[in-house]
Amino acid sequence: MPVAQKLAELLGAEVLLTDEPVGDGARKVVGDLKAGRIALLENLRFTPAEEANDDTFARGLASYAVRWHGDRPAVLWDAPAGARVTAPGLDPTWSTDSPKGDALLAPVAPPGTPVSLRRA
């Protein structure tokens, strides 16, 4: 049974599966979510850009993880071991080697897609 179908069955909610982890199609699915629905992104391990440490790909993934609390961005991450998570466009002084976590950063200007994930 496909993962999205099993997840929908277990949660009793509609699960929308994207055909890519980042890009216009994935962004539309996530952007159009309504209450009670879940978006499941395609496994990024099938994307050559992930292993190539592609900055555009990393920024695309990270853009899903930035949420705003007034003028303060909050980031949430689950990174591979050895990755360094930074947010140069949000808070140039902040970074972490922790593989999982969340952080509320200092107040900044309006949002963009300034978080990156790089393998050490």
Cα separation, 68 vs 72, whole angstroms: 6
Domain spans in the chain, listed from the N-terminal domain onward: 66-120
DSSP calls for 35-47? TT-EEEPPPGGG-
What's the pLDDT tens digit per position in 49-77?
Answer: 887 878 788 777 777 777 778 778 888 88
pLDDT of residue 36: 78
Is pLDDT at 95 greater than 70 in this prediction?
yes
Evaluate whether 66 touches 111 at the Cβ level (below 8 Å).
Answer: yes
| pTM: predicted TM-score of the whole model, two decimal places | 0.54
Residues in contact with 42: Cβ distance below 8 Å, sequence separation at least 6, in sequence order: 17, 18, 19, 20, 21, 26
What's the pLDDT tens digit per position in 10-44?
Answer: 888 889 888 888 888 888 888 888 877 888 888 88
pLDDT of residue 119: 54
pLDDT of residue 76: 82
- Write out the two tokens for 105: 């950063």
Is pLDDT at 7 greater than 80 in this prediction?
yes
- Write out the two tokens for 71: 């003028």
Point out which residues pair with 104 in neighbouring strands.
Answer: 74
Is pLDDT at 111 greater than 70 in this prediction?
no
Q: Are strands 15-17 and 38-40 parallel, antiparallel or unpaired?
A: parallel
Identify the helix (H) or strand (E) that includes residue 58.
Answer: helix 55-63
